[in-house]
Structure 1
Amino acid sequence: MATCKIAVIVGSIRKDSFNSKLAKALEKLFPADFSFLHVRIDDLPPYNQDDDASPCAEVVRLKSDIVAAQGLLFVTPEYNRSIPGVLKNAIDHASRPYGKSVWNGKPAGVIGVSVGPIGTALAQQHLRNILAYLNVPTLGQPEAFIQNKEGLYDAAGQIGEASQKFLQGWVDAYVAWIRKHA
């Protein structure tokens, strides 16, 4: 069976990012025919339309990583009730120049973890609005607003028993979504 490559875009660039940890732990719940490429977004310059005709190497790499993937997995925190600026910057770079978006038609899933009880609900909704405009078919259900609390991970840093069933269900729905749309 061919491998399904997923581009993982983590909206946090913090060294000990909760969302990066979640992304890596979720990978263990996927079938063996899925592989993951963590897309680097921390070195991108601020988006400037003047650079569209001659993008820098970091932007070319970003676009190449997305083109090479069969699906997208956004794992993002919530900053001030929305998505982080670094994530929006990456989305803007890969969607330009106008009419040449590399996001177009790539199926996606959106998830995130936060210390707050509503997880990343508002950031996920804002991200879904952006992805809808970019023609990225995005898994709608189940939604997963994860709170970073006791039991989310086990002692080895993997998804803990208390969260296993719910997150496995989310991964299974995401896998079916990718297989249907990729």
Structure 2
Amino acid sequence: MSIQILALVGSLRSASVNRKLAEAAAALAPEGTEVTIYEGLAEVPFYNEDLDAEGSVPAAAQALRDAAKAAGALLLVTPEYNGSTPAVLSNAVDWLSRPYGAGAVKDLPAAVISASPSPYGAKWANDDARKVLGVAGAKVLEDASVTVGGRFQDFAETHPKDHEETAAELAGVLAALIGALEPVNA
């Protein structure tokens, strides 16, 4: 049985470092584990309870929910916009947290990776993402959080999967997510 980890990337820019970190996680996933980068976040409408009625949930929001329900774990990869997570990630978690108490992230193991060019590595966005996921009902792995800061110049010529320190950090996050699932899969 394969372990499925769904990665949500908070930067919609195709060449973003956060996107590259998600790609690196997918490339570094151990045998028997698949990290899938969700490609439809830009199409998910802003959460509106009027739209969230049984039988009329927008297709893009339903596809996001279905992807999360099919996953064994969730990985958020976030830049920091104005000191917090980008709207696209907050919106995704809003859709995934509903219906209240039974959303697609309920009890789903989750970890957060954040990156920014500053030496702080988007620490505020990382903290906010972990808080929001916890409130949404996910099992946030506090010890599986990585902040990548001050390394963007390294990624100009080296993909994060080939950067020794970054690859080791990502492997640690994946191991923690897999470890959180092992009792379920045993």
Give the TM-score of the pair, scaled to structure 2. 0.87
Shift of residue 15, structure 1, vs aligned partner? 2.3
Offset at residue 75 of structure 1 (A): 0.7
CA drift at 1:173: 2.9
Q: Which amino acid aligns with 1:69?
A: A
Which residue of 2 is the match for residue 61 of structure 1? 63
Partner of 1:14: 13
1:93 positional shift: 1.4
Letter in structure 2 aligned against 1:60: Q
Partner SS for 2:5: strand
Using the TM superposition, give the Cα deviation of residue 114 of structure 1 relative to its aligned residue in structure 2, in angstroms.
1.0
Q: 2:114–2:126: 8 Å Cα contact kept in structure 1?
A: yes
Counterpart among 83, 86, 94 of residue 84 in structure 1? 86
Q: Distance in 2 between matches of 1:100 and 1:49?
A: 15
**8 Å Cα contact 2:10-2:89 kept in structure 1:** yes
**Aligned-partner residue type, residue 102 of structure 2:** K
Unaligned runs of 5+ in 2: none
1:43 matches 2:43: yes
Distance in 1 between the 2:49 and 2:20 partners?
A: 33
User: Cα distance, 1:152 vs. partner?
Assistant: 5.1
Pick which of 103-112 and 128-137 moved more. Answer: 128-137
Counterpart in the other structure of 1:174: 177
Corresponding residue for residue 140 of structure 2:
138
Once residues 115 and 70 of structure 2 are traced to their aligned partners in structure 1, the CA distance between those partners, rounded to angstroms, is: 26
Q: CA–CA distance in 1 between the matches of 2:144 and 2:103?
A: 27
Q: Secondary structure at the match of 1:5?
A: strand
Query: Deviations along 1:118-145, whole A, 9 cap, x unmatched?
Result: 0021111111111111221111115311
Tell me the matched-pair count.
Answer: 181
| Separation in 1, partners of 2:48, 2:62 | 14
CA distance in 2, matches of 1:61, 1:163: 31
**Secondary structure of the residue that 2:43 maps to in structure 1?**
coil
Cα RMSD (Å) of the superposition?
Answer: 2.1
| Between 97-106 and 152-161, the greater mean CA deviation after superposition | 152-161
Unaligned segments of structure 1, at least 5 residues: none
In the TM superposition, what is the alpha-carbon distance from 1:157 to its structure 2 partner?
5.7
What is residue 117 of structure 2 aligned with on the other side?
115
Of Structure 1 and Structure 2, the greater helix share is in 2
Deviation at 1:151, TM superposition (A): 3.8
Is the Cα contact below 8 Å between 2:112 and 2:144 reproduced in 1? no
| Superposition TM-score, scaled by structure 1 size | 0.88
